[in-house]
Amino acid sequence: MMTEERLEGMVHSSKIFISGMGVGLGIGAAIGALAGVLTGILVAPKPGKETRKEFKVKAEELIGSGKKAYESQKARVLEAVEEGAKVGYEKVDEALRKKITKAEETAKKA
């Protein structure tokens, strides 16, 4: 039987999973961009020294944007984990309080 608490937990877990998908999408986009830049640089008819210099500049730009993307996604994931921990703690606390109250009521009746 599906309780309301279980359903809420499943919904919350789904939200965390979906927010994590953004990380994979960002990594995939960065890899795709890097592949496109590399192909463009290597196919372009330029002298080797100029090509290496351009490659270095583009690589540094991509590394910088990758670090920014990582930091922004890292913050989102940490926030989701903290929220999940908070919700989990609240659910456990509430369940324990209910059990204690029920046990106290049962003890009073006995």
pLDDT digit string (tens) for the chain, length 110 residues: 445 555 455 555 555 555 555 566 667 777 787 778 777 767 777 777 787 787 788 878 878 887 887 787 787 878 888 888 888 888 888 888 888 888 888 888 87
What does the domain layout of the chain look like in residue ranges?
Answer: 31-109
pTM above 0.75, yes or no: no
Asked if residue 22 lies in contact with residue 79, where contact means CB atoms within 8 angstroms, the answer is no
**Judging by beta carbons within 10 Å of its beta carbon (0-12, 13-18, 19+), is residue 17 exposed, middle or buried?**
exposed
6, with CB counted inside 10 A (0-12, 13-18, 19+), is exposed
